Chain A
């Protein structure tokens, strides 16, 4: 690959590209390790609220998400524009939440079942009435560990 050509004319030797695959592979492995595939397609628009005292959600396998927000434009014809709840890949009603939690929990390993965390990802303009309904449903399903998803606030508040 990287041999100096022995032609009649003296040419500038080509830069060796032999290590290029190595470099690229290194980058590749980095991104492979850092990747977490997006599991669901959001059907609701969510602009996260902002906060400063955030805690990271440690183990992805212990977390289930509840998405709350107005349906995206392509769904508005069928589902309207008022706030809806999305579980996995479908719109759901608050009454389905309890079943969902129970189902998800029974699918988990037994020793991890009490570590189940529900992450509430809600649009910042959501009315608290909806959130409260969700919270009450979670309480009934004994999913007591919850997390309000929020973004890190960059500008200082005071």
Chain B
């Protein structure tokens, strides 16, 4: 044919360019998504206001103290962190309806499809976590972790019993209902000095 053919652009260096970019992105990539323990802080008190004297029944509070030597005092007794989860679960559930554990009160919850039911639960319980100024952060996180684990296990157990699936697999409405039955109530109190600083 008489037509002159347009010369083809040499594409062999394309691979080099792409490689260069690839290496750049490989180096700058940080794959890890940040993860951690999410918490909600209580709103601040107005400065001129006295601390409100909220009355909480003694049986409803689960006190966890961590001292500057990273030792745990749970409900007045020295405890190893490995037993904390079991102890916390026992407290939150109060299956035996013991008088020393939180009172069991009716709570109205709405399940999927708008079904409202009254469930008996320890809705007024509070876990009070107090730490010393000298407490190590790692220990504090471990304790928080154990408490969250206790809640997660309880919610999971409830979901398995009721819906036959894990808590994570539930629909949003049912999740909300289970959350209402076992609300996460961990209060992080202001620090007090219990022992000398290390």
Contact = CB atoms under 8 A, between A and B. Distances in A.
Interface of A: 1, 17, 20-21, 24-25, 27-28, 31-32, 34-38, 49-57, 63, 117, 119-120, 122-129, 131-132, 135-136, 138-140, 142-150, 152, 157-158
Given A34-B31, A50-B138, A124-B137, 10 more contacts: A17-B15, A28-B21, A28-B22, A31-B22, A126-B137, A128-B135, A132-B131, A147-B34, A148-B36, A157-B82
Q: Chain A interface secondary structure, helix, strand, loop or mixed? A: mixed
Contacts of B12: 1, 17
Contact of A128 (B22, B30, B37, B134): B134
Given A49-B137, A146-B38, A31 B148 contact: no
Interface residues of B, number: 48
A32 B26 CA distance: 9
A120 to B, nearest CB: 8
B85 to A, nearest CB: 9
B42 A144 contact: yes
B interface secondary structure, majority: mixed
B163 interface: no
Nearest to B11: A21
Interface of B: 11-12, 14-15, 18-19, 21-22, 25-26, 28-31, 33-44, 66, 82, 131-138, 140-142, 144-145, 148-149, 152, 188, 190-191, 197
B27 to A, nearest CB: 10
Given A24-B19, A129-B133, A51 B37 contact: yes
